[in-house]
Structure 1
Amino acid sequence: MFNKLFVTCACVLLSSTGCKVLADVNSVEEVKAAYMVPMADKSLLTDVQKVSNNFFVAVGERGHVLLSNNGTDWQQAAVPVQSMLTAVYFVDEQNGWAVGHDAVILNTRDGGNSWQLQQFLPEDDKPLLDVYFRDKQHGIAVGAYGLFYKTNDGGNSWQQELFIELAAEDDKEYLLDLQQSDPEIYRAELSSILPHFNRLFVDGNTVYMVGEAGFIAKSGDFGVSWQRLEEFYNGSLFDLHRTPDMSLLAVGLRGHVFRSEDNGQSWQQIELADSATLNSVFSDAGGNIYLAGNSGTLLQSEDDGLNFTERSQADGKAILNGVVHGNELLLVTEVGIKVLNLDKSE
């Protein structure tokens, strides 16, 4: 995406050191609450999570947060900002976070009924694109231009961190020299050199991060240190997923899909007939894998990602993400929630 959502929304509309981040959001005059609208579930939605069998949450444009107890009927929640929201993550049915443009971070402690603003930085004009919490206290939020924030207190305070190991190999010697000679300029330069971080994927004790220019990195200590993997593709990657048979699938621009059977040490490209950008990959309990993308692209694999069959949608509307609920797919698209019956050919 030149981050996931910048590029996705453009497609939709047109077709280590740390420093403390002050979240004095009460003093920011630009904060305006999201409007409550009658058809929010038909607006551009960017992410969805199945928190439990009885609780679903989706987020999207203009600060929209939608809640459902069955995956069919959705209710808009009151949100204190109008920034586009790009990702949501709940650790349980009560505690969740959402992130988005203006580096906004929102938190709920009552199952999404009310939301509090933990960070809002409109002057930076940089979006956060994903968020993950391993428990109610420890979380990571990442985004465009190398944005990386971490919290150890449930988001009451967020620290921005920069990691030289996430820079391209060609830039490291220059950055190390600069780190010694001028630490202040070093931080600014590192921030400008780091790629866009598009998506987090957590696999047991390992955190993966994917981004632009074939960027993939992994951490075994919840983001304290990182190992950048060797690039195998020069385009943006937008999602990563562990398949039911324990392979890794990475998806990205122009219909590119890559599969690894050795935890990312080597990758094989999976050829697709379609060339639409792929935004997300997810699977169900039965071993089926789904790819969702622009132009209504929806693909299904029954052989662990080696081959895919078409379930693409005739309306051509971009699909940003999805979850499986029973025999249905709940998709978030540029025109809102879409529910597909998996027992039928769509």
Structure 2
Amino acid sequence: MYRLTFSLLFFFTAFFTLSAQEWVQQYPFPLLSQLEAIAIDPSGVAWAVGDKSGVLHSDDFGSMWSILEPPASDPVFRDVLILPGSGGTQALIAGTNLHLTTDNGQTWTSTGFDEIYDFGGLQAIDAQTFLAFAKKGMARTQDGGNTWEELPYPGGVSFGYPPHGFFISESEGWMVEFALNSRVFHTTDGGATWTQAGTQTFTFARGIYFFDNQHGLIADNGYLYESMDGGVTWTALNAAQFPSPRGLWVADDEFWILPDENGSIHYTEDAGATWQYVYPLEYSPAYKAVTSLSTGDFWIAGSFTTILRTNDFANFTEQIPGIKSFLTSIDFLDDQKGLAVSAVGNVVRTSDGGAIWENISPADFVSNQTPLAQIYIESEDVVWLSTFKGQMYFSSDFGDSWQTLGAVGDVVSDFRFQKTGPQEFFAIEFNGHFYHSTDGAASWTLVEDLDGIFTDIFFHTPQDGWLAGYDGQLLHTTDGGQSWETVQPGSDPLEDFGLIRFVDDQTGWAIPRLGDHIYGTDDGGQSWTLVNMPVGTFWQDLDFADAQHFWLCGGASGSGIALQSVDGGENWTITLGDAPQMLAAVSCPVSDEVAWVAGGAGQIVKWVVCSGDTPVFNGIEGPSAPCLGDTVQYTVAATAVDIFEWEFPSAWFLLGNENTAQVSVIVGEQQGDVI
């Protein structure tokens, strides 16, 4: 595999050989992080941090975000603080330790402690005094972060997670546990001693704020509580339970915001008397952080590196580009041409192996949030597409336009099809309706109403086919679905199956919906061999390049995994184990040297093997003399390249994903030569 670097400072190219084989994140963004905190300075400098050692930086109110080299390989950075009066160039990040930059993230100074570690919230008391809350204590600096003192919690108290804290002065503050049955503590001596404030506990507190020494707020699981007596007693402000608040932001005395895990944002403009909520996006990131300026502009950050900007909570700008809806299916014709679809009507396309992914989503698909389920590329131009509700579509121009075909009727929640001839299709509904079409999916005939719940279909020929489903439903037909035989690969007659695939009429695989094993056959399903897997999960898709090379993917909410076999399925290796969301689809069209997986958060990841081919590019296309402030595109035509890096003059701003053959930039004041 090769990395190709382009520089428009005084254009040059360089090649770097990477590892022989690895996964490359192609879409929608190189970093898919659960953002935990966001901060912005009135100058426009902004910071956001999260898991996967994620550190993002912007100089223009978030119009363009850059991924910075992190100060350490922390599993998660929980908070970021812009130092007062620094114009945003100086920032403090909380992770396992504390990390300070005074030059916009170019260099970092890290502070470690013997007893106190694993930091959470940060707070500035004044221009020189900052606080950091950790599991075993609090850290305090009074010289702008140059030196720190440890303040262990009295009596050796420690918490499973860093508590939330808030001080109204150098001496007086409160903290609440980030744990089940959260307790509230109070100090009046700067954290030297703490006493429990009252006896009330909270389900799982998510944030704390005090206006003065009497009036405070605590965000809990489902409710926002208010205290008017210094935290001794608390009253819920909302009658109806919020879904899953994950933070608290107080913009002023009356405007308060609760970002939610389910993709909603609750807010009040009258100090909790009334509440409103919005779902800004078609997908549902877990929002955890909010920041704002006195101008009335707000930024909300969450999972999948989602950052939104709004000034009215009715119109939102997504500042990290790319479709992040759940991709349900991906298919490649060869190592260049591919398509992927989402559960809410999105369609993306590539003609260069994923160097550029183009959003070609039909407007009606997106407006109706059409639940696209399965895509099949038949040839250079011909593509077939289905929805979970059994509606079929056809394209004769590789997705530029779509023709509506037949629908099968009432569908519970899932529909899978397979093309077996020039005009012939078979399909199965989740509820057991088995269909046949002989006119190119224009119309469907119900062949049989099978008893059970079915998840997959595979026909090797128009006569020889298989169905997989729950409660031991692994069915085989040799007469085009007129009759079915139940097959039991393992010892459990009620095992739930999720996938069935055959390489030819003899070699196939039956994949349990959830488990740490699969079944293989080499005699057409007469006998089966159990193969233990290195991990158990919810398996979602299997594809093969030939009888020896297989890919299997799956996962659960918050994690995705991909496995490879190079010996006909006898042994499997985890090649991708840390995808941020479930991987729902895999495509390996030509060989074991290239494959794609897709799934939650809109992620498309490519497996590439260094072939030894010399990278070739045909020069950069784009304006050679762009004007200051213009947003322009540069494109390079390249082969045998899997990672793209672009360099521009420092005053230019790169928009979005850098790892692509086509980028957009905002032209800055400094000049560059394009050669």
TM-score, normalisation: structure 2: 0.37
Per-residue CA deviation, residues 303-340 of structure 1 (Å, 9 max, x unaligned), is: 20233111234522110111124454311101223224
Q: d(CA) in 2 for partners of 1:243 and 1:298? A: 22
Tell me which residue corresponds to 1:280. 247
Tell me which residue corresponds to 1:178. none
Q: d(CA) in 2 for partners of 1:270 and 1:290? A: 13
Q: Which amino acid aligns with 1:132?
A: Q
Question: Is 1:80–2:71 an aligned residue pair?
Answer: yes
Q: Which amino acid aligns with 1:290?
A: I
Q: Secondary structure at the match of 1:235?
A: strand
The structure in which a higher percent of residues are strand is 2
Tell me which residue corresponds to 1:142. 133
Q: Secondary structure at the match of 1:278?
A: coil
Tell me which residue corresponds to 2:287. 319
Tell me which residue corresponds to 1:106. 99
Q: d(CA) in 2 for partners of 1:243 and 1:150? A: 21
Which of 18, 35, 46 is the matching residue for 1:56? 46
Q: What is the CA-CA distance between 1:138 and the residue it aligns to?
A: 3.7
Q: d(CA) in 2 for partners of 1:41 and 1:274? A: 33
Q: Secondary structure at the match of 2:232?
A: coil
Q: What is the CA-CA distance between 1:344 and the residue it aligns to?
A: 5.6
Tell me which residue corresponds to 1:263. 230
Gap regions ≥5 residues in structure 1: 1-36, 165-174, 176-189
Which of 257, 264, 275 is the matching residue for 1:290? 257
Q: What is the CA-CA distance between 1:291 and the residue it aligns to?
A: 0.8
Q: Secondary structure at the match of 2:190?
A: coil
Asked if the contact 2:199/2:232 (under 8 Å) is kept, the reply is no
Q: Which amino acid aligns with 2:232?
A: Q
Q: What is the CA-CA distance between 1:278 and the residue it aligns to?
A: 1.7
Q: What is the CA-CA distance between 1:125 and the residue it aligns to?
A: 11
Q: d(CA) in 1 for partners of 2:150 and 2:270? A: 41
> Residues 340 and 131 from structure 1, CA distance in 2 versus in 1: closer, same or farther, beyond 3 angstroms?
closer
Asked if the contact 1:238/1:278 (under 8 Å) is kept, the reply is yes
Q: d(CA) in 2 for partners of 1:294 and 1:272? A: 19
Q: What is the CA-CA distance between 1:227 and the residue it aligns to?
A: 3.3
> Residues 42 and 331 from structure 1, CA distance in 2 versus in 1: closer, same or farther, beyond 3 angstroms?
farther
Tell me which residue corresponds to 1:8. none
Question: Is 1:345–2:345 an aligned residue pair?
Answer: no
Q: d(CA) in 2 for partners of 1:77 and 1:67? A: 7
Misfit runs of 4+, over 6 Å = none
Tell me which residue corresponds to 1:127. 118
Of stretches 87-96 and 194-203 in structure 1, the one that deviates more from structure 2 is 194-203
Q: d(CA) in 2 for partners of 1:41 and 1:330? A: 19
Q: Secondary structure at the match of 2:52?
A: helix
Q: d(CA) in 2 for partners of 1:286 and 1:55? A: 25
Which of 289, 300, 303 is the matching residue for 1:331? 300
Asked if the contact 1:240/1:249 (under 8 Å) is kept, the reply is yes
Matches within 5 A, 1:1-346: 39=29, 42-69=32-59, 70-83=61-74, 84-92=76-84, 93=86, 94-100=89-95, 103-119=96-112, 127-135=118-126, 137-144=128-135, 146-152=136-142, 154-164=144-154, 190-191=156-157, 194=159, 196-205=161-170, 206-211=172-177, 212=179, 213-242=181-210, 247-253=215-221, 255-285=222-252, 287-313=254-280, 314-325=282-293, 326-343=295-312, 345=314
TM-score, normalisation: structure 1: 0.69
Q: d(CA) in 2 for partners of 1:54 and 1:41? A: 22
Q: Secondary structure at the match of 1:148?
A: strand
Q: What is the CA-CA distance between 1:196 and the residue it aligns to?
A: 4.0
Asked if the contact 1:140/1:149 (under 8 Å) is kept, the reply is yes
Q: d(CA) in 1 for partners of 2:43 and 2:199? A: 38
In our comparison, the structure showing a higher alpha carbon Rg is 2
Asked if the contact 2:116/2:152 (under 8 Å) is kept, the reply is no
Q: Secondary structure at the match of 1:279?
A: coil
Point out which structure has higher relative CO (alpha carbons under 8 A, 6+ apart). 1
Asked if the contact 1:45/1:60 (under 8 Å) is kept, the reply is yes
Tell me which residue corresponds to 1:169. none
Asked if the contact 1:40/1:336 (under 8 Å) is kept, the reply is no
Q: What is the CA-CA distance between 1:289 and the residue it aligns to?
A: 1.4
> Residues 329 and 157 from structure 1, CA distance in 2 versus in 1: closer, same or farther, beyond 3 angstroms?
closer
Q: d(CA) in 1 for partners of 2:263 and 2:52? A: 22
Q: What is the CA-CA distance between 1:72 and the residue it aligns to?
A: 2.2
Aligned length: 279
Q: d(CA) in 2 for partners of 1:274 and 1:234? A: 14
Q: Which amino acid aligns with 1:337?
A: T
Q: d(CA) in 2 for partners of 1:57 and 1:126? A: 22
> Percent identity among equivalent residues?
18
Q: d(CA) in 2 for partners of 1:118 and 1:336? A: 27
Asked if the contact 1:214/1:231 (under 8 Å) is kept, the reply is no
Q: Which amino acid aligns with 1:230?
A: G
> Residues 47 and 216 from structure 1, CA distance in 2 versus in 1: closer, same or farther, beyond 3 angstroms?
same
Q: d(CA) in 2 for partners of 1:280 and 1:68? A: 23
Q: What is the CA-CA distance between 1:273 and the residue it aligns to?
A: 3.4
